Each structure stands twice: as structure tokens, then as C-alpha cells.
């Protein structure tokens, strides 16, 4: 009996590891496709590409219930889609992204180095006042929580710096932009890092012009 119990436990462990590996591979593909759509495609093509990618991301989330990581990436892709939509469509899309990220936060706020927290923070200050958006106190809270999870992360520092720039805290903003620029490279995320570093350099230029 113990032998069969051991074999069952081993089979379960292997199947769980395989499922996790499959999820990781799907997320890696979403990450690369997102970087391509957000940074490399002509701007006129981005909405369509992100709309298709959001559907793919939803399939990954549906195939991995109870996991924060796919929900985070579905939320990131959905929030990026909102950026390229018309005003009439963007509000509903932003709300859908927020709900996905809140669901991920509820499962594991620290998943993917606090990416749900970072993305929620960015939504609360970037989306114009609409429903619960435009809440700068809530944005600051989420972004500072994300920094506690990943103090040296490129996205965590970039979005906090960008938030501070919008709030007129220029000296502090420049400090965090520079920290983001010096963040460690993310293996396998070279395409996203390149795009984000371009964002950072633009942010530094804007901030220096304000000082």
C-alpha cells in the first residue's frame, strides 16, 4: 500500500511540475508578444495585436485557475490594450484590467515580484478620473508596496518615478528613474528591458527639464 501511495505522490508531483512548466512557457510567450506589440509594432497595428493577445492570455488564465501569474499577464496586456483604444472603449477595458489584477493580488500579491501591485498603481494614476481611477493616494500606496517586494526592479522603480513626475516631485522622481536605469537585467526579458529603458531615458529627460 505504501508503494502505491508513493507512486501516486510521485505521479502527482511530476504532473504538477509539468503543468507549472507549461504555464511558465505560456507566460514567457505572452511576455515576448506583449513586448513586440507594445514596443516594436507600428502604433496603428498595436490595438489589434493586443486585442488578440488578450484573448490568448485569457486562455492561459482559464487553463491555470487559482494562479496569480497568468491573471497578472492578462491584466497587463488588457491595460496596455486600453492605452491604444478610443476613449469610449478604454474605460471599460481599464476596469477589466483592474479586476484581473485585483484577483491576482488576492491570490498572491508578491507574485512576479509584485507585478500586480505595480500594474494596479499605474492604472490608478494613469487612467483619467473615471469610477475609482484617478486616485493618486491609492496609486502611491500600490507603487510603494511593489517597491517593498522588489526594491531594485526596473518596472517597480520606473512606474514610481513616472508617478512622482506627474505629481511634481521632480528630485525624487529623478532618483527613481536613475535607479530604474541601473536595475539588473532580466534574463529572457531582453526585449521588454530594451523598451523600458527607452521609457526611462525619456522620463529622465522630462524630469531634468523640470528641475
Does residue 175 share a domain with residue 92?
no
User: What would the grid cell of residue 183 be?
Assistant: 536595475
Where is average pLDDT lowest: 34-43, 105-114, 130-139, 176-185? 130-139
What's the domain count of the chain?
A: 2
Judged by phi (left if over 0) then psi (alpha if -120 to 50, else beta), residue 114 lies in: left
- The whole-number pLDDT of residue 131 equals 59
Q: 121-144 burial, b if ≥16 CB within 10 A, otherwise e?
A: bbbbbbbeeeeebebeebbbebbe
Instruction: Return mean pLDDT, the chain.
Output: 90
Range of the domain at 137: 2-147
Alpha carbons 72 and 118: distance in angstroms, whole number: 10
Does residue 170 share a domain with residue 129?
no
Does residue 204 share a domain with residue 112?
no
Does residue 165 share a domain with residue 109?
no
Alpha carbons 172 and 180: distance in angstroms, whole number: 13
- Domain of 118, CATH number, reads 1.25.40
Output Rg (C-alpha) for the chain, integer angstroms: 19
Does residue 184 share a domain with residue 141?
no
Q: What is the pLDDT of residues 28-61, one digit of tens each?
A: 999 999 999 999 999 999 999 999 999 999 999 9
Does residue 20 share a domain with residue 50?
yes
Alpha carbons 37 and 43: distance in angstroms, whole number: 9
Of 147, 165, 198, which marks where a domain is finished?
A: 147
DSSP category for residue 48: H
- The whole-number pLDDT of residue 91 equals 87
Of 100, 130, 147, which marks where a domain is finished?
A: 147
Separation in Å, CA 60 to CA 108, 135, 160, 188 = 17, 30, 29, 19
User: Nearest to residue 21, comparing CAs of 69, 78, 66?
Assistant: 69
Does residue 33 share a domain with residue 123?
yes
Does residue 91 share a domain with residue 129?
yes
Q: Assign 128 a pLDDT band (cuts: 50, 70, 90).
A: confident
Of 127, 147, 167, which marks where a domain is finished?
A: 147
Average pLDDT over residues 73-88: 94
3-state secondary structure of 210: helix
Does residue 94 share a domain with residue 186?
no
Does residue 168 share a domain with residue 124?
no
Q: What is the pLDDT of residues 97-126, one digit of tens each?
A: 999 999 999 999 999 999 999 999 999 998
Query: Is 34 within 8 Å of 75 (Cβ atoms)?
Result: no
Q: At what angle do helices 136-149 and 111-126 cross, to 10 degrees?
A: 160
Does residue 142 share a domain with residue 166?
no
Count CA atoms within 13 Å of residue 17 on its CB side.
Answer: 6
Query: Is 163 within 8 Å of 132 (Cβ atoms)?
Result: no
Does residue 171 share a domain with residue 113?
no
Amino acid at each position: 500500500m505504501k508503494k502505491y501511495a508513493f507512486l501516486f505522490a510521485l505521479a502527482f508531483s511530476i504532473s504538477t511540475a509539468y503543468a507549472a512548466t507549461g504555464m511558465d512557457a505560456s507566460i514567457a510567450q505572452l511576455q515576448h508578444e506583449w513586448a513586440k506589440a507594445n514596443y516594436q509594432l507600428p502604433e496603428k497595428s498595436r490595438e489589434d495585436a493586443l486585442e488578440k493577445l488578450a484573448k490568448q492570455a485569457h486562455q492561459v488564465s482559464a487553463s491555470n485557475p487559482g494562479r496569480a501569474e497568468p491573471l497578472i499577464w492578462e491584466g497587463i496586456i488588457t491595460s496596455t490594450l486600453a492605452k491604444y483604444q478610443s476613449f469610449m472603449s478604454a474605460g471599460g477595458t481599464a476596469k477589466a484590467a483592474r479586476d484581473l489584477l485585483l484577483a491576482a493580488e488576492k491570490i498572491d500579491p508578491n507574485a512576479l515580484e509584485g507585478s500586480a501591485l505595480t500594474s494596479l498603481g499605474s492604472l490608478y494614476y494613469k487612467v483619467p478620473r473615471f469610477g475609482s481611477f484617478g486616485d493618486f493616494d491609492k496609486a502611491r500606496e500600490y507603487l510603494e508596496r511593489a517597491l517593498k517586494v522588489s526594491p531594485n526592479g526596473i518596472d517597480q522603480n520606473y512606474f514610481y518615478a513616472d508617478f512622482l513626475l506627474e505629481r511634481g516631485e521632480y528630485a525624487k522622481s529623478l532618483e527613481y528613474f536613475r535607479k530604474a536605469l541601473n536595475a539588473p537585467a532580466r534574463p529572457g526579458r531582453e526585449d521588454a528591458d530594451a523598451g523600458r529603458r527607452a521609457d526611462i531615458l525619456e522620463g529622465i529627460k522630462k524630469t531634468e527639464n523640470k528641475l
